[in-house]
Structures are given as C-alpha cells and as structure tokens.
Structure 1
C-alpha cells in the first residue's frame, strides 16, 4: 500500500497575504519614527514624521500605506492611498481632519480613523514608495501604475484584513 501523499496548499487568503506582504517588503520605505507626537494629547504629527514627509516629497506620485503594529510586532495596513505631496496629504489633510474629529469628540468623517488608532498612537507608522521606484505590481501580470497598484493593494488588504482597512473607495461592499 502506498503512503498517503500530503500536499501543502495555500488558501486564497494566504496567497493574497503573501502577495501584499512581499510587495510591501520589496517597495515600501517605512518610517520607523513615531508618527504622532506622544507628548501631546490628540493627533499631532511628530517632528520626525514631518521631516520624513518633507524628505520624501520629490517629483512624481507616491503610494503610501499607513500601518499599525500589533502587540505581536506584525504590521497591519490601515489605509492605502496615493498623492503628489506626502506632506500636504498627511499634515494638511488626514492629520488635520483627525485633529478636528478629536476636538469634536468623534463627530465627523474621521471618526472611524480615530476609533482605530486613538489608543494605539505609539504603534502607527507610514510607509511610501515613489512611482519611479516601483519594480512590479503586487498581482502578477496586472498594471504597474500607481493608481492600479493602489487598487490592487486595497483589494488584497481588504480580503486579508477585513474590517481593519479604513479605505472606503476601492473596497468591495
């Protein structure tokens, strides 16, 4: 009698997680710096983050991923987007709206953001890649433009980490 052969197969979720993680590891320049100024209450960018955003503000389009680090040191994507100016998008955009939401005790379009990160401010960090540094798309044989990659990553992240992603656009409902 032949011994039973067992094959190790990856689930659809595992494949998507591997595609996301491999692409992010190969492309994303992550800021290991504190995202928020923890000496202040609320959502204020750290000086190190502002410097990082200003340094990574050259020509072209940037794809960015806001990550949160879990207690087991695994990083989960919270928000994925693209911009021509990281500084304007984050300091003058998302962070400013988070501050307004916080000041209004959670009222507003950023209430979901606030609820996801209010007690985890010390574990939030931002990663980015400039369009000229993209070598391949997350999903093989798909387009490699920043816009296409943004939607590929949103789709993969939403399937792998349901109910965590803060994106509403590009997420299947």
Structure 2
C-alpha cells in the first residue's frame, strides 16, 4: 500500500462531498508530475484529503483509492472545466482514479500547524514552490500527520 496527499478546493469538491458519494472520480489533474503519481496508484492506497485555496488550507480527512488508474475522459469534453484541447481519443494523456471516503477529521489540521510538526522535513507539501495537487507521502509522514489530525 502507498500513501498520498491529494488537494482539492473545498468549493469544487470537499471531504463532505466525498463522504456523500459512494465513490467519486478524482479527475481534472492537469500537471504531468501529479498525473504520474496518479498512474502509480492502486486500489487500497490511502490518501490525505487536503483542502486547498481556502482559509485556512489543511488536512480534512482520509480517502481510499478504489480503482486502477484510467484515462481521464473529462479532457475530451469541451463543456468540462478540465477540458484539454490537445487531447484526442488516440492521445489521452491524463489519468484519473476512483476514490471513496474513509474518515473525516473533527477539525482541519491547518497548514500552519503542519509546518510545526517534527519529522516532516521531506514532505513535498512543505517544499518551496511545491504546487502539486497529488504527491506521495511516506509511511512515517502519514503516521505523523494522521496522529496530529486525530488529536485535534
């Protein structure tokens, strides 16, 4: 099993939206490095659901990957906000996975709090200029973050 951190703007798709869905596609990723991370995901992998572009940003809960990666067909739909005009049926470079809700934290673990936690020096989220929406998390980083989030 692998661990991930996946970002979403809560007004677009929040931990509550995931809780209310039986399963949902994690699509719309339009960064090649983040796409490569999605391509490595397998059913059973867990991810930290991070609310981004909000005040305050932070960890809202845990989700689970429930499908193999598959082509993100939203790229072909001109009415979709994640449309990619360069994508074709023959060349569909973007990937998606289906996910489901596992746990919501009683309160958001803010980015400011995350920055104070020991043992997270290598966490991609804390690297200067890191704007990836999907990033790997080590087992040690996972444990630190989940313990802090559950402790409130």
Tell me which structure has the larger Cα radius of gyration.
Answer: 1
TM over 0.5: no
Structure with a larger share of its residues in strand = 2
TM-score (norm: length of structure 2): 0.33
